[in-house]
Homo-oligomer: A and B are copies of this chain.
Amino acid sequence: MSKQLIFGHKNPDTDTIASAITYDYLKKQLGYDTEAVALGEVNGETQFALDSFNVKTPRVIETASNEVKDVILVDHNEKQQSVSDLDQLTIKEVIDHHRIANFETAQPLYYRAEPVGCTATILNKLFKEHNVTIPKEIAGLMVSAIVSDSLLFKSPTCTQEDIDAAKELASIAEVDVEVYGLEMLKAGAYLSDQSIDDLLTLDAKTFELGNSQVEIAQVNTVDPNELLEQATDIKAEMTNKINDKNLDLFVFVVTDILANDSIVITLGSQKDAVEKAFNVTLVDDTATLKGVVSRKKQIVPPLTDALS
């Protein structure tokens, strides 16, 4: 049996990295030759989680077909979010919690998707199904993933299964999920020394909504005002990106992880769609979206409707 690489999506977040490492552990226990790798440098929040549980950061790869024939995808399935040479590889397994799109295989495979808030919640079930014990450091990474994807259970993507799994795993990891979780989220929040380019790219995703090219970047913070003071510079850089990437809309989402609201700064020819989608009036291209924290569940669907 030849070696298989396991990886999550580009612009990796905590769930993607933690799930690759976690599934790699499980597959090794089951006798497979696997390695967890990353499709980009880990962010501050993920590094905090890795350091907290003393787990090595996975190496970054650009392509996989130069090393292996077979791969396992976690936390994603869409081709454009994956390794660039996916077409030259056999996808043996997918463990994911997103919609399925831009995905095709020539052969049957193991595909496990569930509509839960976090890939780690599904992996928790797989350990049980295979009767494998979760070690402390792996449980710690899995809690981190659930806290990250659910913003400490406050995101509408969070299900009861995620909450139950996080409690179980926190007990194995010997952490207080509320205390550890907030610390981890703060470690990943905006830091005053971050460049504006980083803010607009580190957690950015491109979507085709209706016929519009839309870029949605998101940053977490405990102090949105500190960020909004730089609005003029942020807007200048957003305009550059709109021109460079030929975008119809750029939405920059500043999420207040303590208040659980988001402030959006938006530019582009389809700017009106934001007013329509969220029933708000933009003042200086900016509006507050009360209770909105999830790009996947609270931003993309209403914007899709407004642009269709």
Residues of A within 8 A of B (CB): 97-115, 125, 129, 296, 301, 304
Contacts and interface: CB of A to CB of B under 8 A. Distances in A.
Contacts of A102: 104
A191 B69 CA distance: 45
Contacts of A115: 107-110
A110 B106 contact: no
A45 B133 CA distance: 44
Given A100-B100, A101-B104, A104-B101, A112 B109 contact: no
Contacts of A104: 99-102
A212 to B, nearest CB: 15
Contact of A107 (B99, B107, B110, B125): B99
A124 to B, nearest CB: 13
A115 B91 CA distance: 12
A113 B112 CA distance: 7
Contact of A301 (B100, B103, B106, B113): B106
Contacts of A109: 99-100, 113, 115
Identical copies in the complex: 2
Contacts of A99: 104-109
A300 to B, nearest CB: 8
A107 B113 CA distance: 11
A201 B114 CA distance: 35
Contacts of A301: 106-107
Given A100-B104, A110-B113, 18 more contacts: A97-B108, A99-B104, A99-B107, A99-B109, A100-B105, A101-B104, A106-B304, A107-B115, A107-B301, A108-B114, A108-B115, A109-B115, A110-B114, A110-B115, A111-B112, A111-B114, A112-B113, A125-B129
Nearest to A125: B129
A110 to B, nearest CB: 5
A98 B105 CA distance: 9
B106 A296 contact: no
A22 B245 CA distance: 48
A115 to B, nearest CB: 4
A258 to B, nearest CB: 27
Contacts of A112: 111-113
B100 A103 contact: yes
A122 to B, nearest CB: 10
Contacts of A101: 104-105
A170 B103 CA distance: 37
A89 to B, nearest CB: 15
Nearest to A116: B108
Contacts of A304: 106
B103 A108 contact: no
A205 to B, nearest CB: 15
Nearest to A103: B100
A306 to B, nearest CB: 13
A179 to B, nearest CB: 30
